[in-house]
Each structure stands twice: as C-alpha cells, then as structure tokens.
Structure 1
Amino acid sequence: MSQYTHVLAAVDLTEEAQQVARRAAALAQASNAKLSLVHVVEPLTFAYGGDIPVDLSEIQQQLQQQATQQLQALGDSIQVDEANRHVLTGSAVTEIHDIAEELGADLVVVGSHGRKGLALLLGSTANGVLHGARCDVLAVRVAD
C-alpha cells in the first residue's frame, strides 16, 4: 500500500459514519497523513425540485447547523482538528470531488452498504465518488 499524505473521509452522518471515520483515521495514522472530514448537505430544492412554493431557507440553515454539530462531535471523537472539518452544500459527488482536489487529498474514504448484486455494490454517492475521483477511493463496507 502506498503512503498517503492526506486522507479525506466523506461521511453522511448516519450511525455508520463512525465506522467510516474510524477506518479513515486508522489509515491516516498508519501513513502519518493529514485527515479531513467532509459532509455535504444537499439543498432541499434538489429533493423537491423547486415545486414547493415555500421558502425553505430557514429549514436549510437548520440542516446546516445540525450537520455542523454532528460533524464536530464526530471530529472530536477521532481527534480531527476543527480546521479540517468541512460542511458543504450542493451535490454530494461534485462537492466531494471538488474538496478532495482543493485539499490535495490522495485518498477519499466513503461508506458503502454491502447489498446483493453488482449494481447495488455501491450506493449512488459512493459510486459517483469512485468514478469521478482523481485520487484513490476506499469504499468501507458498513454494517446494515
């Protein structure tokens, strides 16, 4: 295995995020690499297609705040400096690719559910990260 210099753990902040973060932390420690965390909050307009005639900005702001708090707790648990914790808004795949390149990450760690069948091997986000990344990607199988 090559020595990595910057490991980026892309987490979804579900219960399984702890598994992904711990694996990324172990890899970073083994390589004496910098470790960063990223979580992407998708805009509510992505989910609803802008069809709801309601201002969702307050709810979006609350989602950002919750994600920041959860990422802070996760970062604290694996000793990631606050400066290396990133909560972004946008398309998860695009934002993960962009931050990986911006940070100079040479390994992105994502979670994947071990479902049956080749098509279900990776979730859509993990699959998208894998296929568009300019660095190594590790898909950590998380418990269902």
Structure 2
Amino acid sequence: MRKSGEPYYTHPMGVAKIVLEATKNADTILAALLHDVIEDTMVTLEQIELLYGMEVAYIVDMLTHYNTYGLRWKLDHSDSQIILNQCKDIRVVQIKLADRLHNLRTIAVRKLADQKRIAKNTMEFYIPWSKKNNVLTWLSEMENICYQILHANPTL
C-alpha cells in the first residue's frame, strides 16, 4: 500500500500513463510499468528479460541502478545525482521524471517537511536535469507543484 492508502500498483500505472504523454515506445512504457519491480519484489532482472526482452530489462536495470531511494546500490543522494547526470538514455530520463512527477502529484499525504525536502530537490536537481536532457513535457507542472509546496503556509 502507498502512504495514501491506495494499492501500490496505482503508482507504476500512473508513471506509465505519464510516460505515454511523451512516447508511444512499447519498451519504454513497459519499463515504466516495471520500474520498481526489482526493488520491491522478488522478481529478478533475468526474469524480466525472459518475459519482456533485453531492452525492457536494460531500461529497468538502469532505472534501478539510478534509483535515489533504492537499497540495491545504497548510493547517497549526491552520488545518485552524479550518476543521473551521466545518463544518456532518454527512456530512463523520461521514466525517472515521470516517476518524480507522479510522486509530486500524490505528495499531499506526506508531512509538510518531507514535501518541502522533495520539492526543493526537484527544483534543484530534477528540473535542471530535465532541461539538460530536453525533456520539457512536464516542467511547468513540476515547477507549479514545487512552488506551491515551498511557499505553503504551515499555519493554514
């Protein structure tokens, strides 16, 4: 279950729906649906490759490798950002940004301090990273959500 109380599967479905706004590439959409499977289940990368092919497995592996919050690589925040900055695969960029956007869209269930930390990180890293990679589809929405969070009055 997500912190919102929704079933977890709503997150990968939401991410895939966002990715559909940027691409109709089947491998990218499938990888968006599977983006958290390696971290959150007992499914292996080999099983993903067997079921969905080498390209989907490659994208999922890159997403897992670059995951800021994942346990697999145990990278700290700055190390994750350095690795993401080196990413050249637009499919990975699209899914990571769609993942961040979906998390921003559903952020209201988190404590304000966590919301502000995530919004600050989005403004400082993900938005410039998005511009650097010329993935501009969701920029204004991400900026608007972050602005609202960062300028929220905690007494209201």
Fold equivalence (TM over 0.5):
no
In terms of fraction of residues, the more strand-rich structure is 1
Higher RCO by CA contacts (8 Å cutoff, separation 6 or greater): 1
> With structure 1 as the length reference, what TM-score do the two structures score?
0.41
In terms of fraction of residues, the more helix-rich structure is 2
> With structure 2 as the length reference, what TM-score do the two structures score?
0.38
